[in-house]
Structure 1
Amino acid sequence: MAGTIIVTGANGSLAIPAVRYLLTNYPDYTAVLTVRSTEDSDPNTKKLRETIAKFPKAQTSIRQLDLANLSAVHDFASAIAAEVADKKLPPLASIVCNAYYWNLVGDPEFTADGVERSIQVNHISHVALVLRLLGSFGPEGGRVVLFTSDGHFSGKNGLEKYPPGIPDDLDSLLKATPESDKLGHGFKRYANSKLAILMWGYALNRYLEKDEALNKITAIVIDPGSLTDSRALRTNTPQFLHYVQRFALQPLRPLLRLKDPTMRTAADAGADVIELAANKAYPGERGYLKLLKREPSSPDSLNEDKQQKVWVKSAEWAKITKENTALASSI
């Protein structure tokens, strides 16, 4: 089943090797690759363009999409839906919600919508994108690939200082105030966004299963592992993390993997993501994976009452209504 695969944050550390893997192994797919800047003045976009240039017969396009602007996300979704309807693009086969944001060194940042940037980029804008485009999948269905991390599970990540958790006042996730401990609170904001993604993904699967028109679409929420060569460790992070990556994580990865098998390269993770997006890994299945293994997610993430609250609030935050999603019965 070929079709269109959308990848957000397509010039990222995981995404570029994932795109290369996709074009090498599944060339029949059409790839829509979104980035914040499509200009080659962005070195990461330039690298993405150089990557796809090696596949001259591939059906690819690089599109601008700023996930920190919710109106832009809705406009993009409308444009893609129109292209599918007009047969300018094949029906969707997968949406890979790869883009992310964190800031472990500065004060909280806010989007044009007045929302804390981590929760909007990582979660809310992807909610809008997915729910707006469910009706653009083909009759064979497809897959939504969402990304969480071990940060969602209290006590699992060495950067955690304050445990993640979904508060009773969900709207407080959209807000933040400057704190002296920028690393600790910045990581908590990131971890909370990853917990929200996971809980929303569980709820999404329940609604998809109940929908006769959409029940062939499955959602997988993957923790891709600790990517020792990721640019994430050098972006908006303290200097000590740069040194740890350069002098420990990368050169010692084979040894570190003996103790922690989640230590791996972005290319390894990218291959897994594409196998999921193409519905080759765990075909037709739903749920949470750590790497490509079934493991239980955190106890907090399995609370169905809170999952439902996150589901309802996420639709509200993402400005999803019965009129703009094919999953109207759940909104």
Structure 2
Amino acid sequence: MAGTVIITAANSSLAIPAVQHLLAKFPDYTAVLTVRDTTDNDINTKKLRATIAKVPNARASIHQLDLAKLSAVNEFADGIAEKIQNGSLPPLASLICNAYYWNLVGEAETTVDGYEKSIQVSHLAHAALIFRLLGSFGSEGGRIVLFASDAHFPGKNGLEKYPPTLPDDLELLVKPGPDKPVDNLGRGFQRYANSKLAVVTWLYALNRYLEKEPKLGKITAVAINPGNLTDSRALRTKTPMMLVILSRFVFPLFRPLLRFMDPTMRSSAEAGIDVIDLATEKSHPHQRGYFTLLKEDVSAPETLHETKQQDLWEKTLQWTKTTL
């Protein structure tokens, strides 16, 4: 089944090898790749453009998209929907929600929409994109790939100091108060973990919605924990010097030992291949749910509470100003 594949943050450590795998192994697909900066002033966008250039007759285009602005997300989605409707693009086959945001060296940041930035980029913006593009999938359905992390599961990530949790008042998820105590690394990581907890919890409500809608029943949604990517640039972006040193000098040297200790430790390229195989349904066709690498897994207990899933679903519709 060919069609359009959208990848957000397509110039990331994981996404560039994912794009390479998609274009080389699935040439019938059309890749729509979003980045914050489409110019070669961004070295990573330049690498993405070079990756595309290596594949003859690649069906790929790069588009600017700032997920920290819901108006930009809506405008982009509406433009894609129009192109699919008029035949400029083939029907949507997959939406890969790869982008994320964290800040482990500063206090909470607020977007122009008034929401905490980690939750907006990782969850709200992708939800808005999905809501607006559900009608653009082809008659054969397709797949939505959300990104999880072991950080969403309390006690599973070594950077955790404050366990992730969905507050009883969900407004505090998108509009948290001041950090108490002030702890940039601990609270910054908790905000990131909370955003991933929200992504996975919302996944189950999304799949229920898809299954009950006759025209959407062939669309499947999955969340993948791609593993702890030891070569990811994320470890050197808005992180303390400790993580920068570990990622540059320690992880490359001790990668085999680290993988022995934690089987999810791997390279971004390995994860990128898995993501594309899930997105194209080469792996686990027609299945839904949560995966660690390419293995079906059980997500954190809090994500499995149906009431919390539904509450978050309804609040997400409200936050993104969406009516289905």
Question: Which range, TM-score by smaller chain?
Answer: over 0.9
Q: Is the partner of 1:48 in helix, strand or coil?
A: helix
Q: Is the partner of 1:61 in helix, strand or coil?
A: strand
What's 1:218 paired with?
220
What's 2:320 paired with?
318
Q: Is the partner of 2:253 in helix, strand or coil?
A: coil
Q: Which runs of 5+ in 1 are unaligned?
A: 322-327
Specify the code of the residue in structure 2 equivalent to 1:234: R
Counterpart CA distance in 2 for 1:94 and 1:251 is: 36
Number of equivalenced pairs:
322
Question: Aligned-pair distance for 1:29?
Answer: 0.3
Q: Does 1:47 align with 2:47?
A: yes
Question: Aligned-pair distance for 1:212?
Answer: 0.9
What's 2:124 paired with?
124
Q: CA offsets, 1:229-269, max 9 Å, x none? A: 00010000000011112222222111111121000000000
Counterpart CA distance in 1 for 2:70 and 2:296 is: 33
Mapping 1:70-219, distance limit 5 Å: 70-176=70-176, 177-178=178-179, 180-219=182-221
Q: Does 1:295 align with 2:300?
A: no
Question: Aligned-pair distance for 1:211?
Answer: 1.1
Specify the code of the residue in structure 2 equivalent to 1:143: R
Counterpart CA distance in 1 for 2:285 and 2:78 is: 28
**Residue among 229, 232, 236 paired with 1:230:** 232
Specify the code of the residue in structure 1 equivalent to 2:144: V
Q: CA offsets, 1:88-130, max 9 Å, x none? A: 0000000000011000001111111111100000000000000
Q: Is the partner of 2:165 in helix, strand or coil?
A: coil
Question: Aligned-pair distance for 1:220?
Answer: 0.6
Counterpart CA distance in 2 for 1:223 and 1:137 is: 24
Counterpart CA distance in 2 for 1:31 and 1:111 is: 28
What's 2:245 paired with?
243
Counterpart CA distance in 1 for 2:296 and 2:287 is: 11
Q: Which runs of 5+ in 2 are unaligned?
A: none
Counterpart CA distance in 1 for 2:265 and 2:276 is: 19
Greater Cα shift, 264-273 or 202-211 = 202-211
Q: TM-score scaled by structure 1?
A: 0.96
Q: Is the partner of 2:24 in helix, strand or coil?
A: helix
Q: Is the partner of 1:187 in helix, strand or coil?
A: helix
Question: Aligned-pair distance for 1:142?
Answer: 0.1
Q: TM-score scaled by structure 2?
A: 0.98
Specify the code of the residue in structure 1 equivalent to 2:73: V
Q: CA offsets, 1:2-52, max 9 Å, x none? A: 000000000001000000010111011000000011011011111111110
Mapping 1:300-311, distance limit 5 Å: 300-311=302-313
Q: CA offsets, 1:164-192, max 9 Å, x none? A: 00001101111232552100000000000
Percent identical residues: 63
Greater Cα shift, 310-319 or 225-234 = 310-319
Question: Aligned-pair distance for 1:227?
Answer: 0.2
Q: Is the partner of 1:95 in helix, strand or coil?
A: strand
Counterpart CA distance in 1 for 2:190 and 2:275 is: 25
Q: CA offsets, 1:254-295, max 9 Å, x none? A: 111112100000000000000011011000000000111112
Mapping 1:5-44, distance limit 5 Å: 5-44=5-44
What's 1:268 paired with?
270
Counterpart CA distance in 2 for 1:180 and 1:298 is: 27
**Residue among 247, 254, 257 paired with 1:255:** 257
What's 2:60 paired with?
60
Counterpart CA distance in 2 for 1:254 and 1:208 is: 41
Q: Is the partner of 1:34 in helix, strand or coil?
A: strand
Counterpart CA distance in 2 for 1:231 and 1:246 is: 10
